[in-house]
């Protein structure tokens, strides 16, 4: 009787160890997936900082392909981020009533709609070789000058991926 009791205890312990192994294995999966994601992010992410009245990028010569623009609003008011492919210099865009006429300037590749201070938004774009401008086209109520005119614009270049 005593002997059978210990056999049961041993089997239960073995089962618990096996269960623990599976919990570890399954629990370990998301973190390795996250690590892979972080590694991928590191090679393709462009950091963008939006403030009054300036836009900064951590890299301005990029490689063609999928690029993740991670924009942080470090200002005190809402800002947006528009990416346009254009041959026009960043300061020379056509502006009507405080706003850039986007279609007249080049090809809009994508945008992050206006978002509040303190927030971070991401946008992934598949960009071909070319010259680009990243800008904010917000115009505050009852203001004559838009954010673009106040300086929220920056040029960057996309090189062939070779």
Residues that bind Cu ion (CB under 5 A): 79, 136, 138, 147, 152
Q: Are 53 and 152 in contact (CB under 8 A)?
A: yes
Strands 61-63 and 153-159: parallel
Q: Which is nearer to Cu ion, 38 or 108 (CB)?
A: 108
Q: Which is nearer to Cu ion, 25 or 96 (CB)?
A: 96
Residue 70 CB, nearest distance to Cu ion (Å)? 17
131 burial level (CB within 10 Å; 0-12, 13-18, 19+): middle
Q: Which is nearer to Cu ion, 68 or 99 (CB)?
A: 99
The C-alpha atoms of residue 100 and residue 95 are separated, in whole angstroms, by 4
Residue 96 CB, nearest distance to Cu ion (Å)? 17
Residue 153 CB, nearest distance to Cu ion (Å)? 10
């Amino acid at each position: 009787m005593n002997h059978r009791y210990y056999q049961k205890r041993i089997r239960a312990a073995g089962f618990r160890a096996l269960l623990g192994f599976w919990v570890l294995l399954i629990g370990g999966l998301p973190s390795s997936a996250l690590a892979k994601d972080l590694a991928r992010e590191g090679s393709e992410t462009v950091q963008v900082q939006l403030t009054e009245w300036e836009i900064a990028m951590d890299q301005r010569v990029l490689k063609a392909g999928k690029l993740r623009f991670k924009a942080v609003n470090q200002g005190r008011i809402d800002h947006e981020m528009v990416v346009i492919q254009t041959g026009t210099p960043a300061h020379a865009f056509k502006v009507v009533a405080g706003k850039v006429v986007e279609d007249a300037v080049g090809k809009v590749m994508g945008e992050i709609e206006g978002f509040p201070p303190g927030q971070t938004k991401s946008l992934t774009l598949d960009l071909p070789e070319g010259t680009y401008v990243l800008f904010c086209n917000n115009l505050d109520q009852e203001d004559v000058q838009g954010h673009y005119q106040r300086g929220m614009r920056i040029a960057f270049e996309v090189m062939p991926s070779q």
